[in-house]
Structure 1
Amino acid sequence: MNIFDRNAKRLQKERAALSADVGLYDYLKEEVGFRLADRVFDIKREFKTAADIGCNRGFISRHILAECVEHLTLTDTSATMLEQAQGTPGLQMHKQLQDEEQLDFEENSLDLIISSLSLHWVNDLPGCFARIKRSLKPDGVFIASLFGGDTLYELRSSLQLAELERKGGIAPHVSPFTQIRDIGSLLNRAGFTMLTIDTDELIIGYPSMFELMWDLKGMAENNAAFNRPAHLSRETMLAASAIYKELYGKPNEEGIPATFQIIYLVGWKPGPNQPQPLPRGTAEVSLKDLGTIFEKGGKIKLDQDT
């Protein structure tokens, strides 16, 4: 079952990219792209071939150095955003229009696949992960970020309370996000190993709820679910703004906070040179004896069964 309207999301991205002040709304994606690129640098390896899927306006490529990645392929559904993406000096880049839901790379062709704040709009995330793994070479790595389930919880609850009060029911005005507890199982299901998953929270202040919603539109992060309502009444908007300020605004301070939960993930395609666990039953001591071993300064091999 499809949740998101991919064509609507493509049009939203096109409209945002064609705006004269599009750069004003880069602050969040720029910060997350920088943090994700830093995780690529932490891997002490030179990647010959890499791909940035759902690259937006190049929030990762503008931080990737040629000394780290030799050739980077940028993909996105928005032709205008793809055109605006730039790289660092010396970085070889190739751009192609491609949907994250229909990746078309050759099998075992890439050393690295990266994606920043794009995969939360994918309907078939397990299928997307499987295609990413298929495209990677053995011992290739997948590094990505996406919005987590706690993102914009203040806005979501304020709109729901306002609609309950005014309309007697609620509509989905904020798109659903993936929960962190699901990411690990989806990556395991796709066949990735040596997983690393962590979260970060960015809390950004806005004068009011209206500026937040305006910025979300400028980022092309407005709602793209199929069941999104076509209209939100002025009365409900004003009520939601007052509720937002009352519930989440700090006393004696102007403005309101908005929380963005970022999930970072790293997964490796199995390869012959990766570290392997020792066979079960080959340990020399039990976990209950750790204290004694450490006191004597000894070296141990643990039994996985314990």
Structure 2
Amino acid sequence: MNASSGPPRIFDVPRRTARLARSEPAIGRADFLHLRAAENAVGSLEALMREWPKALDLSAHPGLFAAALAGSAAGGRVGQVIAMGDRAARAAPGAAALDVPDQSQDLIVSLMSLHWANDLPGALAQIRRALKPDGLFLGTLLGAGTLKELRAVLTEAELEARGGAQARVSPFADGFDGAALLQRAGFALPVADVDRVTVRYPDLFALVRDLRAMGETNVLAGPLRPLTRGIAGRAAELYAGRYGEADGRIPATFEIVHLAGWAPHESQQKPLPRGSAKMRLADALGVKEQTGED
């Protein structure tokens, strides 16, 4: 293995950028996940009684966060939110150097974009460097359980028709690794939370229309073999037969991973050194310690 080789190329950056551009006029028809992410980020800021004079929005579809912030209790404590103008930087975080001076931002938000990063720890490290000491990062990405139903039926339908199947749904990060990813990127006090959302559709084709409107369709690197109408129809049959509900609608699972981390600062709470505790655990819990003797 070549030690100088970079991270694996999972996603095609130009393809992802083009898909995001095409989705921008349509996102208003399918912005429910982005709005949920924005509202969660705003809720986090409402719980923190401090000011954020310089704020940067790196979200896939910027503007939704600022709109949610405007009507919140935290709105008066956050300065003007500047949206990243470079679509490629929003489409594929970390693909190029983040064009922001080091230690220049009090708050950085990246909603519904980081799951398209070929090098997620590297993208997070860039964000951490752009934060002032004790600056806050709030991020959201799709997690491993996202579109599990769609993944299963597309694979089965293509296997039936072709004897082999190409990946059609992105490999998403495990939400339970979120805090570890932040820590690896140099953030202090990392927190990750997983929010599972089930959305019900009339059929598979309605789901795909929403994914296109979001800019969340397949951009895996390499040649993409188009699905035939027959394979898509068979996948729709499998979806309805396997997951369909009593009213004929089908569920689609989305797993939203919310991240929060701070740029390190000497004022932040730090864990005590190992062996420095002044009280035994049994005393702290108010229980009688067992000696192991009969």
Query: What's the CA shift string for 1:266-295, capped at 9, x where partnerless?
Result: 11111011112334433232113334379x
Distance 1:267 1:57, change over 3 A: closer
Bigger shift: residues 252-261 or 225-234: 225-234
Deviations for 1:167-208, whole angstroms, at most 9, x for unmatched residues? Answer: 111111111111123322221111111111110011101000
Which position in structure 2 is the counterpart of 1:170? 165
Shift of 1:135: 0.8
What TM-score comes out, normalization by structure 1 length? Answer: 0.83
State how 1:99-178 maps to structure 2 within 5 Å. 100-101=93-94, 102-178=97-173
Point out which structure has higher relative CO (alpha carbons under 8 A, 6+ apart): 2
| Contact 2:92/2:117, CA 8 A, preserved across alignment | no
Contact 2:200–2:250 (Cα < 8 Å) also in 1? yes
Between Structure 1 and Structure 2, the one with more strand by share is 1
Gaps of 5+ in 1: 80-95, 295-306
User: Quick one: structure 1 residues 35 and 121, their matched pair in 2 at CA, closer, same or farther if it must change by over 3 Å?
Assistant: same
Q: How many correspondences in the alignment?
A: 275
For 1:178 and 1:150, the matched residues in 2 are separated by 9
Distance change (3 Å), C-alpha of 1:77 and 1:13: farther
- Distance in 1, matches of 2:148 and 2:118, equals 21
Q: 1:120 to 1:292 in 2, by over 3 A?
A: closer
For structure 1, which segment, 205-214 or 2-11, has the greater mean C-alpha deviation from structure 2 after superposition? Answer: 2-11
1-side partners of 2:91 and 2:220: how far apart? 20
Aligned-pair distance for 1:104?
1.6
Are the structure 2 counterparts of residues 25 and 98 from structure 1 closer, same or farther at C-alpha, using a change threshold of 3 Å? closer
Equivalent pairs: percent with the same residue? 36
Does the 8 Å CA contact 2:58/2:90 hold for their aligned counterparts?
no
- Quote the residue 1:254 is aligned against: 248
Within the alignment, does 1:69 sit opposite 2:78 as a pair? yes
Aligned position for 1:276: 270
Which residue of the other structure, out of 178, 186, 191, is the alignment partner of 2:181? 186
Offset of residue 78 of structure 1: 3.4
Structure 2 distance, partners of 1:75, 1:160, is 36
Q: Which residue of 2 aligns with 1:201?
A: 196
| CA 226–280 in structure 1, closer or farther in 2 if over 3 Å, else same | closer
Counterpart secondary structure, 2:66: coil
Aligned pair in 2 of structure 1 residues 168, 76: CA closer, same or farther (>3 Å)? farther
The CA distance in 2 between the partners of 1:291 and 1:150, in whole Å, is 37
CA separation in 1, counterparts of 2:86 and 2:29?
A: 21
Identify the residue that residue 8 of structure 1 maps to in structure 2: 15
Asked if 2 retains the 8 angstrom alpha-carbon contact of 1:133 and 1:191, the reply is yes
Deviations 1:39-63 (CA, angstroms, capped at 9, x unpaired): 2222211101111113414221111
Aligned partner (choices 41, 46, 50) of residue 45 of structure 1: 50
| Counterpart Cα distance in 1 of 2:113 and 2:107 | 17
Helix, strand or coil for the counterpart of 1:171? coil
Query: Could you tell me how far 1:264 is from its partner in structure 2?
Result: 0.5
Q: Is the 8 A contact 1:75 1:99 kept in 2?
A: no
Q: Per-residue deviation at 1:231?
A: 0.7
Separation (CA, whole Å) in 2 of partners of 1:70 and 1:192: 23
Match of 2:61 among 37, 56, 63: 56
On the 8 A contact 2:16/2:92 being kept in 1, the answer is no
Question: What TM-score do the two structures reach when normalised by structure 2?
Answer: 0.87
CA displacement, residues 52-87 of structure 1 (integer Å, 9 cap, x when unaligned): 1134142211112441211322115439xxxxxxxx
Distance change >3 Å, CA 77–CA 153, structure 1 → 2: farther
Contact 1:171 1:228 in 2 (8 A): no
In structure 2, the residue matched to 1:78 is 87
What is the CA RMSD across the aligned residues, in angstroms?
2.1
3-state secondary structure, aligned to 1:62: helix
Q: Is the 1:172–1:229 contact (alpha carbons within 8 Å) kept by the matching residues of 2?
A: no
Letter aligned with residue 73 of structure 1: I
